[in-house]
Amino acid sequence: MKQLKTLLIAAILFVGASHTANAQAKIAHIDVSDLMSKYPAMLNADKQLETVGKTYDTQYKGLVDEYQAKLKKYEAESATVGDKVNEERTVEVQALQKRIVDYRDNAQKELQQKEMDLKKPIVEKVRLAIQKVAKAKGYQYVLDASTGGGLLLADGPNLLDDVKKELGF
């Protein structure tokens, strides 16, 4: 009876120890910022955004140049034209100022929307690739090793090369 009790306690300890050993999570890390900065799809999206941004900047500069030219002309002619013309020109300049501000605000909103439309599917694809590689290698957790990502020690496996292969670059 005493041997059975000892055997039972030993079995319980063995099972507990094996659960403890199995309970240790496998953890890996990846520098997501590094991955994204080198990912061709993200580089392409950045180029597209830069092109759209330059277009907005050119149009904005054209509006500002038009405003400055009119303002300079109207100031030079203000003494020679009547009060009614000066009032009309003041209203025109104010309308142009509003148009410039509205254009700038609208351009910023459109650029932000374009950035979200371009980058959201890329970020999702990268996230799925990281998950796929992590699952294939048996990792339960993958930490972001980007600067400021909160990772204090990156001594474990780095999935960057495997994820690059998964994404095809």
The whole-number mean pLDDT for each consecutive block of 10 residues of the chain, a chain of 169 residues, reads 52 52 77 95 97 97 96 91 92 96 97 97 96 93 84 74 91
Element (H, E) at 100: helix 83-137
What pLDDT score does 155 carry? 67
What pLDDT score does 13 carry? 59
Task: Name the DSSP letter for residue 147.
Answer: T
Cα–Cα distance measured from residue 169 to residue 163, given in angstroms and rounded to the nearest whole number: 9
- Domain hosting residue 115, numbered range: 2-167
Number of folded domains in the chain?
A: 1
Give the torsion through C-alpha atoms of 50, 51, 52, 56, to 10 deg: 90
pTM of the model: 0.72
Task: Name the DSSP letter for residue 152.
Answer: -
